[in-house]
Structure 1
Amino acid sequence: MASSLYTVVIDAHDMRAQAAFWCAVLDWKVVYADEHEVTIGADASATPGLCFVTVPESKTLKNRLHLDLNPDDRDAEVERIVGLGARRVDVGQSAQVTWAVLADPEGNEFCVLSPKRSLRD
């Protein structure tokens, strides 16, 4: 049997604040928390989730892995997420791309795409 994606683990200085930000972005909730990690998801039985863990070091380079969000309206979603504490970032994308690059409050880049109906769009 093949594996399935369970969680994406994200290093953080403030795992609880990062979890709260991403809960607001994705309309998810905290499904598990202890002193070492906070896991969020649509609900406790829906995978994958995001798991935040505290690390001492700061982020120094562009992420090698990032999340892509698929909204109904890209521009409206970008404005909503910026209002939650994200910021726009330039990672070298051209002005003609169909996505927006943002960073969460700790600087982790992610993209807000134009609406997609499948993984082939």
Structure 2
Amino acid sequence: MSHRSRLCHFVIDVDDLDQGVAFWAAALDATEEELSANSRPVYRRLRLPDSEIRILLQRTNDPKTHKERMHLDLESDDVEAEVRRLEAIGASRHDHQQERGYAFWVLQDPWGNEFCVLNVNFPPLLTARPPHPGHR
């Protein structure tokens, strides 16, 4: 028998689903999709504006104890402006990395989950996105 598979979710642990939706929807320009009433106490799902992969927020009370083994990378044509925008909605700067001649910021969401803000990697895809308000 043949079968199909695809990446459908990137899961992020949060301890407050409403705050998780507010932060990650603003950070990623995403919109919340409806889930069943049975799922909503534990999960919320976000649709990204330019991908069929969904962000699935999962409520957990487990404390964060170490670095993530998977994380999101956000690209920007103005890394510092994007870092400031993300700080304004609740992110915090964790570490500025410079590796192999490439500089980027490691940020943390309000739950301590790391994610990175990088310089442009995919120019045609980034230029297809509308600029954030206040972007120069």
TM-score normalised by the chain length of structure 2:
0.75
Cα shift at 1:2: 5.0
Give the counterpart of 2:32 among 14, 30, 33.
30
Structure number with higher relative contact order (C-alpha < 8 Å, ≥ 6 residues apart)? 1
User: Are positions 1:109 and 2:114 aligned together?
Assistant: yes
Deviation at 1:52, TM superposition (A): 0.8
Q: Which blocks of at least 5 consecutive residues in structure 2 are unaligned?
A: 124-136
Identity value in percent = 37
Q: Which runs of 4+ in 1 moved over 2 A?
A: 93-97
Structure 1 counterpart SS, 2:7? coil
The question of 1:85 aligning with 2:87 is answered no
Asked whether the equivalents of residues 12 and 55 of structure 1 are also in contact (C-alpha less than 8 Å), the reply is yes
2:52 counterpart residue number? 47
What RMSD in Å do the two structures reach over aligned CA positions?
Answer: 2.1
Name the CA distance, whole Å, in 1 between partners of 2:98 and 2:120. 19
| Kept in 1: contact 2:17–2:57 (CA 8 A) | yes
Aligned length: 115
Q: Which runs of 5+ in 1 are unaligned?
A: none
Q: TM-score, normalised by structure 1?
A: 0.83
Shift of 1:42: 2.7
SS in 1 for 2:95: coil
Give the greater-gyration-radius structure (CA): 2
Secondary structure of the 2:34 match is strand
* 1:73 CA displacement: 1.6
